[in-house]
Amino acid sequence: MLLSIVVPCFNEEEIIGRFHDQVTAELSRFDGEFEIVYVDDGSRDRTLPLLEGIADGDPRARYVSFSRNFGKEAAMLAGLRAAAGDAVVIMDADLQHPPELVHRMLALHAEGYDQVIARRTRTGDRVTRTLTARAYYWAINRLVDVELVDGVGDFRLLSRRTVDAVLELTEYNRFSKGLFAWVGFKSTTFEYENAVREQGRSKWTFGKLLNYGLDGLLSFNNKPLRAAVYLGMILVAVAFAYAAWIVGVALVNGVDTPGYVTLLVTVTALAGVQMVMLGLVGEYVGRIYYEVKRRPHYLVKATNTRVPAPREEQE
């Protein structure tokens, strides 16, 4: 059996050498072959020369380097395309995903699971972060039709057929967490204690998280649009009821002119609702715009391996 480890790396010069040593040491216990596919996502530090050095010294290491930063989703896609293994484990380069858990994943995979998902506990996270995450997942699971679980990320083992299925999905806007859930197959989840990042910095800012959250909401289906339609209908119903009530009051008490505040609040509130709905439609149109351009997900600058083109381009 061949196991592939896919590692997206963006500015990870401080830790990448240690990562390689730890993973290879850990996998020496594994009785099968393994390879490590590093994807340098346009790092601006010395990550690429370090990867070249690693690949020179270890034939099990391969690397793909992007022309610029294309994002972790693109890096994972390139890694999955390049991976040749019967099973693939996706892992962060910052050692926040403990390498020893790979054995646990392999054991569960041997029991017949196509996806073995590691779910991190939120110990050590700030309370605000934990609470927002909980609220977000509560809301999103009501709106999208795949199940998204808090704490579940990209740290997981995928069987060959799962990887092939994920690679069939060639959409431009990739929300992997949802794509993995979408393909299905027999999967299982186990919990692990999340390690604190030792070197380098997390690339997540609040703005990025917010955008990621919106992507998750909008990448899957048109339920948000459906919700907008319902909201519109409710507002119309409320407006009709209110109009009837005003007419009723006018018939009983005579015409009553004041209403400045009511008018102002109604107009601004409705304008707000309309802007949000328009933005929502715009988001979908924007997504279509990106999809129809069919630009590649990434451009390769340097590599010591072959990255197969997406399926449809081969045909």
Q: Which residues are bridge partners to 65 per DSSP?
A: 40, 302
Shortest Cβ distance from residue 213 to Mg ion (Å)? 18
Does 12 sit near ligand UDP (CB under 6 A)?
Answer: yes
Shortest Cβ distance from residue 72 to ligand UDP (Å)? 4
- By CB under 6 A, name the one of 41, 54, 77, 118 that touches ligand UDP: 41
Residues 81-100 that bind ligand UDP (CB under 6 A): 92-94, 96
Q: Which CB atom, from 30 or from 204, has the smaller least distance to ligand UDP?
A: 204
Contacts of 44 (CB under 8 A, 6+ apart): 11
Residue 106 touches which member of Mg ion, ligand UDP, none, C-beta under 5-8 Å by kind: none
User: What is the three-class DSSP state of 272?
Assistant: helix
Tokens at 56, concatenated: 């020179």
> Strand runs (DSSP E) across the chain, as ranges?
2-9, 33-40, 61-66, 87-90, 115-120, 152-159, 187-192, 300-303
Shortest Cβ distance from residue 124 to Mg ion (Å)? 12
Question: Is the Cβ–Cβ distance between 129 and 199 less than 8 Å?
Answer: no
Does 94 sit near Mg ion (CB under 5 A)?
Answer: yes
Does 151 sit near ligand UDP (CB under 6 A)?
Answer: no
Residue 203 touches which member of Mg ion, ligand UDP, none, C-beta under 5-8 Å by kind: ligand UDP
Shortest Cβ distance from residue 69 to ligand UDP (Å)? 5
Shortest Cβ distance from residue 241 to ligand UDP (Å)? 47
Identify which range of 3-11, 237-245, 265-273, 287-295 contacts ligand UDP by CB under 6 A.
Answer: 3-11
Distance CA 287, CA 283 (A): 6
Distance CA 187, CA 189 (A): 7
CA 5 to chain centre: 18
Residues 278-307 that bind Mg ion (CB under 5 A): none
Instruction: Return the C-alpha torsion angle 75, 78, 81, 83, nearest 10.
Output: -60
Residues 178-207 that bind ligand UDP (CB under 6 A): 202-204
Distances (CA, A) of 151 to 123, 189, 195: 11, 11, 13
CB atoms within 10 A of CB 75: 27
- By CB under 5 A, name the one of 24, 69, 96, 170 that touches Mg ion: 96
Distance CA 115, CA 154 (A): 11
Question: Is the Cβ–Cβ distance between 307 and 313 less than 8 Å?
Answer: no
User: What is the three-class DSSP state of 152?
Assistant: strand
Shortest Cβ distance from residue 197 to Mg ion (Å)? 5
Contacts of 48 (CB under 8 A, 6+ apart): 40, 63, 65, 302
Shortest Cβ distance from residue 206 to ligand UDP (Å)? 12
- By CB under 6 A, name the one of 72, 81, 174, 177 that touches ligand UDP: 72
Does 22 sit near ligand UDP (CB under 6 A)?
Answer: no
Q: Which CB atom, from 144 or from 152, has the smaller least distance to Mg ion?
A: 152
Site string for Mg ion, 46-85 (x = CB under 5 A): ----------------------------------------
Contact positions vs ligand UDP (CB under 6 A): 8-10, 12, 41, 69, 71-72, 75, 92-94, 96, 202-204
